[in-house]
Amino acid sequence: MVEPGLTGALVWLGKELASQGIRKLLDVASTELRPAPARRLGGPAVKRYDLSAGAVLTTDVDVAVSYREGIGQPLPVVLTFQDAGGRKGEPFPTVLTDTAHVRLRRGHYLIAALVLRMPVKVGDKPMLRAIGWVQPWIAANATQRITIRTRRPTAKLVKQLGLLDDDGKPLFRLPPKTAPAALPAGFGTRQPASPVSRERVRRLVTDAPTRPTPPTWPALAADPPLRRRRVTACLARDTVTKQRCTRPGLLLGLCSMHLRMARLGIVRWHATGERVVLPRRG
């Protein structure tokens, strides 16, 4: 969808293409490429305009075209320069890999870019690969650099811009629509499990070794030899708060403090309330 002010903006280009043809239009286009001016050492020179004699104010503009599917390919491109809101402009033939260096009168412009594929057979229409436009305000003293990003054209967009012949038909062939990649058959649907798969799952479940139930800590305390276990907190009951100790458990699940107190026989398990009995060393 284009802005309301751009509807029919390229009708003039369509009429010239219909009357002259694409090749003749590109041959007659009176434009010139020139290299960008080199900067002097010590900074750019100040550019002054003598308005006493009615001089025309101009700005150097560098225009590049961005076409994602044709990076690095010298595809034919037609740039058009016209006043924003105007209905007449100038075509500028170039290639996708080049930057157009032009000098324009200062003002508000509509600059369009048409990426083409020239016809192979006589009488065929050129293909419009991509199209894009910008509406910059050109008034800088330094070289103004502009990049036009293009997009895939549609029949509706071509009609809105006025790229039609006298019969109302598009002047260009449009690129064929690319169908999305087909997904594999059955993608996204749940497939029923085969009898073989169900039997494998049943064997994995029934034949899996079961873990033995870990013994309780009071039972571990009475079983020699001493074994180091990793627990989250001490399993002893605090003698002051009567709550479970919050220190990290070490040997037999007791912290270092309660382990020393257990040797004196004054520590109880928090879970059972029984006195902690340390196993004797053999």
Averaged over 171-197, what is the pLDDT?
Answer: 69
Query: Tokens 């034949």 appear where?
Result: 207
Q: Which CATH architecture has domain 4-33+56-161?
A: Sandwich (2.60)
At residue 70, what is the residue type? G
Tell me: the pLDDT tens digits for 192-215?
A: 666 666 777 677 666 655 554 544
Report the candidate in 78, 70, 64, 72 with the shortest Cα–Cα distance to residue 147: 64
Helices marked H in the chain — which ranges?
A: 11-20, 22-28, 155-161, 195-206, 217-222, 256-262
pLDDT digits (tens, 9 = 90+) for 90-127: 899 999 989 999 999 999 999 999 999 888 777 788 88
Percent above pLDDT 70 for the chain: 68
134, pLDDT greater than 90: yes
Give the pLDDT confidence score for residue 137 in this predicted structure: 94
Least confident of 46-50, 91-95, 104-108, 136-140: 46-50
Across 183-193, average pLDDT: 62
Helix (H) or strand (E) holding 65: strand 58-66
Asked if residue 263 has pLDDT above 70, the reply is: yes
Confidence of residue 186 (pLDDT cuts 50, 70, 90): low
Please, where in the chain does CATH 2.60.40.2190 lie? 4-33+56-161
| Distance between CA atoms of residues 130 and 174, nearest Å | 9
Residue 133 backbone dihedrals phi, psi, to 5 degrees: -155, 160
pLDDT at 144: 94
Q: Which residues of 187-219 are buried (b: 16+ CB within 10 A; e: fewer)?
A: eeeeeeeeeeeeeeeeeeeeeeeeeeeeeebbe
CA dist 261 and 21 (Å) reads 104
Q: Using the predicted structure, report yes or no on whether residue 135 has a pLDDT greater than 70.
A: yes
pLDDT per residue as tens digits for the range 217-253: 555 555 444 444 455 788 888 888 888 888 888 877 8
Please, what is the average pLDDT of the chain?
76
Higher pLDDT, 134 or 48: 134
